Amino acid sequence: MHTYHDIASLRRRLQAERQSGLRIGLLPTMGNLHAGHLALLSDLAAACDLTVCSIFVNPTQFGVNEDFSRYPRTLSQDQEQLQAAGCSLLFAPDVSEMYPKGSEHNTVVSVPGLQDVLCGAHRPGHFQGVATVVSKLFHIVQPDVAIFGEKDYQQLAVLRRMSEDLNFPVRIIAGATRRDDDGLALSSRNQFLDAEERQRAPMLYKTLCQVRDAIQNGLRDYRMLESSARGLLDKSGFITDYLSIVDARTLQPADVNCQHLTLLVAARLGHTRLIDNLSLSLAETPASLP
């Protein structure tokens, strides 16, 4: 596995690989890799001939008082993991390479209707930063296929809409959420939980499962279910940003006529913000989501 730090060198390499007929896949990350990332890489490898992983801690998706400065930079360890996992190429640019005029003067990509709800309402500008940097990565790498994890469900929806609206010739794969044995979704932020918080963290997924089960058993008062679930989390020591039952495609609040639902939650334990989701179909024939 070779690591590239500049766009020009990476493009030259990829042009040669593309001309030889190889299908190129992209896994965008911010590094500090864990088993969930490596599982996504494995899923990606099954869909292409050459895998490119990018590691870039993108400043434009961090808001005021968020954790950009303390986000772990673990490039050496990440390189070792990617090498062992069979990654073909690593792209690890610095901020000046991705934003040569400064991130505050960079052209931005917005995705109306999806970027300002749920996490977007609590993290203004976050999804604009995500859409912008992924758009840049799509232009740089020109992948045939890219993969994003379902754990970041809203991000996946935003990027699918962006790719469709901007006519990127990229097939986007949704990678299944990987979980620890107790149900906690794998995330780089889990390392910030102390021992007591880590014991409580699986309650997030357990609560989603309880809401899902209630819906599958016929309960349709979604606003009551949301309120009850938020109260349960708050009593368990979380500070809940939202727990919402939404239309899986539009991310708008679900009503009784909605057949494809996603349950999304964001809550804090101590200083750590955790997210999770579950999707379910009430239709006879399940659809591909989101």
Tens of pLDDT, residues 202-233: 999 999 999 999 999 999 999 999 999 999 99
The answer to whether 271 is a known catalytic residue is no
Check 2, 34, 37, 105 and give the catalytic one.
Answer: 37
pLDDT at residue 46, rounded to an integer: 98
Domain ranges of the chain: 2-175, 188-281
Q: Is-contact 266 119, C-beta < 8 A?
A: yes
The order of strands in the sheet holding 239-247 is: 239-247, 260-269, 272-281
**Which tokens hold the place of 256?**
């009784």
Separate counts of helices (H) and strands (E) for the chain: 10, 9
Q: Is-contact 246 254, C-beta < 8 A?
A: yes
Coil, helix or strand at residue 269 = strand
Q: Do domains 2-175 and 188-281 have the same CATH topology?
A: no
pLDDT at residue 284, rounded to an integer: 52
CATH node for 2-175: 3.40.50.620
Residue in 19, 20, 32, 43 with CA at minimum distance from that of residue 92: 32
CATH node for 188-281: 3.30.1300.10
Q: Is-contact 199 182, C-beta < 8 A?
A: no
CA distances from residue 205 to 175, 177, 202, 209, 211 in whole angstroms, order as listed: 18, 12, 6, 6, 10
Identify the segments of the chain with pLDDT beneath 50.
285-289
Q: Is-contact 86 45, C-beta < 8 A?
A: yes
Residue in 127, 134, 130 with CA at minimum distance from that of residue 113: 127
pLDDT at residue 288, rounded to an integer: 45
Q: Is-contact 25 44, C-beta < 8 A?
A: yes
CA distances from residue 235 to 7, 60, 158, 257, 267 in whole angstroms, order as listed: 49, 34, 32, 31, 12
